[in-house]
Amino acid sequence: MRFSLYSLVLLFSTSLSAQTLKLSLPQAIDLALENNITLKNQYLSRIANKLDLQLAEDEFAVQYNAGAQSRYNSSYNEQRYDSVQNTLSTGASWRNQYGGQMSLSLNQNKYQAEQQADQYQNSIGLSYSQPLLKGAGKKAATANLTQARQQEVLNQLSMRRNLSSLISRVIFSYRNLLLAQQSLKIVELSLARANEKASNNRALLAAGRISNSVLVESLTDQANQKLSFQRSQYQYERSKLDFLQLLRLDKQADARLELDADLTTVEPELNLVELLHLAFANRPDYQQAKIDLELAKLDLYQAKDQADWRLDLDMSYNKLVSGERFEHYSGLDQGDYQVALKLEIPIDDMSSDNRVYKAQISLYQSANQLKELERNIELDVAEQKKKIEMSWQELLLSEQYLTYTQLQLETEQEKVQSGLSSNFQLVSYQNQLVSAQRDYLSAKINYLNLLTELDNLVGQDITKWQVDLSRSQNANIKQIRDYKIAD
Residue 5 predicted with pLDDT over 90? no
Percentage of the residues of the chain whose pLDDT score is greater than 70: 90
Q: Are 371 and 286 in contact (CB under 8 A)?
A: no
Residue 100 predicted with pLDDT over 90? yes
Mean pLDDT over the full length of the chain: 87
Would residue 112 count as lying in a domain?
A: yes
CA dist 130 and 313 (Å) reads: 5
Q: Who's near 362: CB < 8 A, 6+ residues apart?
A: 296, 299, 300
263 and 321 share one domain: no
69 and 212 share one domain: no
CATH number (domain holding residue 391): 1.20.1600.10
pLDDT at 17: 46
88 and 190 share one domain: no
Using 50, 70 and 90 to split pLDDT, how confident is the model at 45?
Answer: confident
CA dihedral 130, 132, 133, 138 (to 10 degrees): 70
pLDDT at 13: 47
189 and 322 share one domain: no
The residue segments making up the domain with residue 236 are 5-35+143-294+358-481
CA dist 415 and 11 (Å) reads: 51
CA dist 20 and 252 (Å) reads: 9
Output b/e per residue, 170-209; b: 16+ Cβ within 10 A: bbbbbbbbbbbbbbbebbeebbebbeebbeebeeebeeee
273 and 371 share one domain: yes
Which residue has better confidence, 424 or 448? 448
pLDDT at 390: 97
Mean pLDDT of the 155-172 span: 94
126 and 148 share one domain: no
Using 50, 70 and 90 to split pLDDT, how confident is the model at 10?
Answer: very low
CA dist 184 and 227 (Å) reads: 12
Would residue 318 count as lying in a domain?
A: yes
Q: Are 283 and 455 in contact (CB under 8 A)?
A: no
Percentage of the residues of the chain whose pLDDT score is greater than 90: 57
Which residue has better confidence, 114 or 486? 114
Q: How far is CA 327 from the centre of its chain?
A: 59
Mean pLDDT of the 150-173 span: 94
Would residue 401 count as lying in a domain?
A: yes
Would residue 398 count as lying in a domain?
A: yes
Would residue 234 count as lying in a domain?
A: yes
pLDDT at 168: 95
Would residue 256 count as lying in a domain?
A: yes
Provide the whole-model pTM.
Answer: 0.84
Give pLDDT tens digits for 428-470: 888 899 999 999 999 999 999 999 999 999 999 999 998 888 7
pLDDT at 6: 38
What letter would DSSP give residue 309?
P
What's the Cα-to-Cα distance from 60 to each of 55, 125, 134, 150, 187, rounded to whole Å?
10, 21, 19, 17, 70
378 and 447 share one domain: yes
Structural domains in the chain (count): 2
pLDDT at 324: 54
Using 50, 70 and 90 to split pLDDT, how confident is the model at 401?
Answer: very high
Mean pLDDT of the 198-208 span: 89
Give pLDDT tens digits for 225-254: 999 999 999 999 999 999 999 999 888 777
88 and 149 share one domain: no
Would residue 273 count as lying in a domain?
A: yes
Phi–psi pair at 82, nearest 5 degrees:
-110, 145
Lowest mean pLDDT among 50-54, 169-173, 419-423: 419-423
Using 50, 70 and 90 to split pLDDT, how confident is the model at 260?
Answer: confident
281 and 429 share one domain: yes
166 and 217 share one domain: yes
Lowest mean pLDDT among 20-24, 378-382, 431-435, 462-466: 20-24
Would residue 468 count as lying in a domain?
A: yes
Using 50, 70 and 90 to split pLDDT, how confident is the model at 332?
Answer: low
Using 50, 70 and 90 to split pLDDT, how confident is the model at 218?
Answer: confident
pLDDT at 14: 44
339 and 267 share one domain: no
276 and 321 share one domain: no
